[in-house]
Structure 1
Amino acid sequence: MEGDLEDCLLNKVDLRRQWISQMVEEVQKVVHHLTTEISYQDFRFQAIPYCDTYNENIKDPEGLQQWLGVEQFLKSPGQWHEADVNIEGDIVPAKVLQVFRKLVENAIETCHLSDRVHILMDHLVVRVVVETSAGQVELQLTPAVDIPTAWSKKAQWPSCLKRWPSPETVQCIKSFGFSLLACSSYHWQLSFLRAEQVLLEQLDEDGGCRRKCFQALRQMKEDVWCPGTRPVITSYHLQTVLFWTCEKYPYPKDWQVFSRGFLRLVRKLHKCVSQRFLKHYFVRKSNLLQYASSCELDALAQTLAFFLKDPQISLP
């Protein structure tokens, strides 16, 4: 990779960040407005001051599925015994989503947001389209249950003798616990959003270029390798590739040169796509490419192979 091509790519990354930040700010205000109204209507749901993210393009690997019983709640369990969300002591995601969808529909009307927010028809999950000054944004609103101060037994992490992340960071991450998402019919899906946020926030404490490499990888995925609204590879896949690569190359010296770090990520992505196998970073028995289209993965693997033979950047 030549220096001017690197500059071109990183300039594109900066423009994307500015564009995204504007949309995110507008969307967060709308989501906070809606969820505040929802919490007034039904106190079982709490308002969020910001928009948590979950990538709806990844179907649930079985290893990330879990039951949620009402006895797991230490406070006010009675509210979760109601038949609208409960079957024989189990809180059922499909029933929670049914209640939540109605609450979202009511909140859109009550908040007078019908001209800006439209709920999409879907057999299960709750998707809305938000009109922003930069264009339409499609969101999936997913009820979540936080399990603080505990760590999932399914997440056998970290492995022994790993130098990244540091023991202090590991301890910090585990102290935040995990979450369960209502995004399927009967099983709740494990989520480690806060843990992942901490890892991303502390990526370059040693002065490396991991974040720039990841942003460039995402830019190439979105613009060249895998564009579109329903890509076979999502930002969550790329984030997982980043974490695995950071674990394999833990030293600051490994992340001092942008081109080397970037191509290292591309090679890891190519290997995962070619093998149709990408382990979840925390629940390592789960393959995040388990339900991905084989044809699309094979086509992407070929595209990445061509790029690695001649790593020239051709942005639209």
Structure 2
Amino acid sequence: MLCAGFSWGSLDSKVLSKFLNEEVWISREESKKALDKALSKVTTILQCMEERDPRFGSQPHKSGSYIERLQVSDPDEFDFMVPLEEFPKLVPVKVPFQLQLQHPSPPVDKSYVAVCLHLFPYTSPWQKNDVSELVQEGRIIIPKKVMSTFKKNVIQALETMKQRGSVDVHQLRQGTPAVTFTMTHNRNEIDVDLVPFIKDPFVTWSLPWPRFLRAWPSTDKIEKVKKTGVDLVAKHPLYWRYSFSRAERVLLEGIDSDGGCRRASLQILKKIRIDFWERKFGKVLVSYHLKTVLFWACEAYPQSCDWTDLSTSFKRLVDILIYSLSHMHLPHYFLGSDVNLFRKDCWPKLYNLCYEVKKFRRNPEWYLEED
């Protein structure tokens, strides 16, 4: 087996609690001030944009670690999802080969889908060539074009507001579904991600979740997740990627209403990733991986009594992380084993990271008490 190694060393819940209180928890008040500043700027930009191009909504959805109450570092990054408006019916479609040649792009797995407007008897502002291309079935909405148009609108809005000099808009990067800009708050820089998304475009829930014979989450929670739906974000030039950001927030709501230690365990693991592993290996392991580990752990250990002790709860997350790294496979929580969240080009670094996590498991208190 890959990454075989060390068993658990001593780990007292008091040590974890001290680390949580002194190193992990940050002021929600200070974070809220920074968020309010960012939200005010974002809302003004989107309202200005909507006057010029009503396809992009003016009411942002807060997203990311702050709104999920999982933030473990200084409040210098915030995410907002921007709804795309005025869509008629959207349907999945196979991308014609000719269109693939026009837009060379990486291969995709089952977390991606191409979508097409079925126009008759409708007309839609999304028919325009700046965001779509004509095919036999109708018009395919091209993520790359949508992102380019969205960024152009953001820059034009800032110029209209005469704030272009106070905000630094970053270059678009392939594989990133956001337009990012940097602003200043109390002499500190804040990075803001604006993520255009298609809100729950499908009529029915057709995904392989929930799994058969699972005991977590509850039936009521499952129905709430399904009602929230699955969204689409522009993470690929030709294909939209399923986004479960809003659904995951539903899963996290009240996750420790039974007095458990699930959220605290995840926050500790996130902080350890930042302080120890990211410095050495970069961002091959990210917060989304760890949140996925938590969801799998909750499904594997569905009872309240499984999460009453902080040390036991934290160990469960680390053990599942090591198991996933050992097999170089972390299944997507909603889409299952067909979608591996560990990118193949990151496997060499992930292999070395696995050994590092094993070392942590052998002597965790040394890491946690290190000055």
Amino acid at match of 2:234: A
Q: Does 1:92 find its partner at 2:142?
A: yes
Matched residue, 2:167: 117
1:64 corresponds to 2:111: yes
Q: Does 1:216 align with 2:268?
A: yes
Q: Which position in structure 2 is the counterpart of 1:170?
A: 222
Distance 1:44 1:230, change over 3 A: farther
* 1:34 pairs with 2:45: yes
Contact 2:205–2:226 (CA<8 Å) still a contact in 1? no
Matched, 1:103 2:153: yes
Residue 301 in structure 1 maps to residue 354 in structure 2: yes
User: What amino acid does structure 1 have at the position aligned with 2:48?
Assistant: E
| In 2, Cα distance between equivalents of 1:228 and 1:211 | 25
Q: What CA distance in whole angstroms lies between the structure 2 residues aligned with 1:107 and 1:4?
A: 51
Contact 1:280–1:288 (8 Å) recurs in 2: yes
Give the whole-Å Cα distance in 2 for the aligned partners of 1:228 and 1:22. 32
Question: How is 1:243-262 mapped onto 2 (pairs within 5 angstroms)?
Answer: 243-262=295-314
Counterpart check, 1:8 vs 2:18: yes
Contact kept, 8 Å, 1:151 with 1:178, in 2: the verdict is: no
AA in 2 matched with 1:84: D
Report if aligned partners of 1:149, 1:175 keep a CA contact under 8 Å in 2.
no
Whether the 8 Å contact between 2:331 and 2:340 is mirrored in structure 1 is yes
For residues 16-75 of structure 1, give each alpha carbon's deviation from its aligned partner in whole angstroms, at most 9, with x where no partner exists. Answer: 7565444333322222222222112100000134433479xxx9952111111112x899
Give the 3 Å change call, closer, same or farther, for CA 5–131 of structure 1 in structure 2: same
Q: 1:104 to 1:228 in 2, by over 3 A?
A: farther
Structure 1 residues 60 and 151, CA gap change in structure 2 (3 angstroms): farther
After TM superposition, the structure 1 stretch with the greater mean CA deviation from structure 2, 4-13 or 270-279, is 4-13
1:48 corresponds in structure 2 to 59
Matches of 1:223 and 1:134, distance apart in 2: 24
CA separation of 1:177 and 1:50: change in aligned 2, threshold 3 A: closer
Unaligned runs of 5+ in 1: none
Shift of 1:7: 2.8
Report how many aligned residue pairs link the two structures. 311
> Which deviates more from structure 2 when the two are superposed, residues 218-227 or residues 246-255?
218-227
The aligned counterpart of 2:256 is 204
Q: Give distance in 2, aligned partners of 1:38 and 1:188.
A: 23
Over 3 Å counting, the alpha-carbon distance change for 1:296 and 1:209 in structure 2 is same
How far residue 79 of structure 1 moved from its aligned partner, in angstroms, is: 0.9
User: Which residue number in structure 1 is paired with residue 180 of structure 2?
Assistant: 127
* Structure having greater relative contact order (Cα 8 Å, sep ≥ 6): 2
Find the counterpart in structure 2 of residue 24 from structure 1: 35
Q: TM-score, normalised by structure 2?
A: 0.76
Contact 2:233 2:243 in 1 (8 A): yes
- The answer as to 2:240 corresponding to 1:188 is yes
CA, structure 1 residues 150+255, in 2 after alignment: closer, same or farther (shift >3 Å)? farther
Q: What amino acid sits opposite 2:130 in the alignment?
A: D
What secondary structure is seen at the aligned counterpart in 2 of 1:129? Answer: strand
Aligned mates of 1:14, 1:112 — CA distance in 2: 38
**Following TM superposition, by how much is the alpha carbon of 1:307 offset from its aligned partner in structure 2, in angstroms?**
1.0
Distance verdict in 2 for CA 1:76–1:8, change over 3 Å: farther
Query: For 2:343, what is the secondary structure of its paired residue?
Result: coil
My pick for the range that moved more, 285-294 or 274-283, is 285-294
**What SS class does the counterpart of residue 190 from structure 1 fall into?**
strand
Does the aligned pair in 2 maintain the 1:84–1:99 contact within 8 Å? yes
1:79 aligns with 2:125: yes
Larger Rg: 2
| TM-fit CA distance, 1:293 | 1.3
Gap change, CA 1:223 and 1:123, over 3 Å in 2: closer
Residues 281, 353 of structure 2: 8 Å contact kept: no
**Distance in 2 separating the partners of 1:43 and 1:76:** 17
Rounded Cα–Cα distance in structure 2 between residues aligned with 1:147 and 1:261:
33
Q: CA deviation at 1:294?
A: 1.9
Contact 2:281 2:349 in 1 (8 A): no
Q: Structure 1 residues 151 and 235 mapped into 2: Cα distance closer, same or farther (>3 Å)?
A: farther
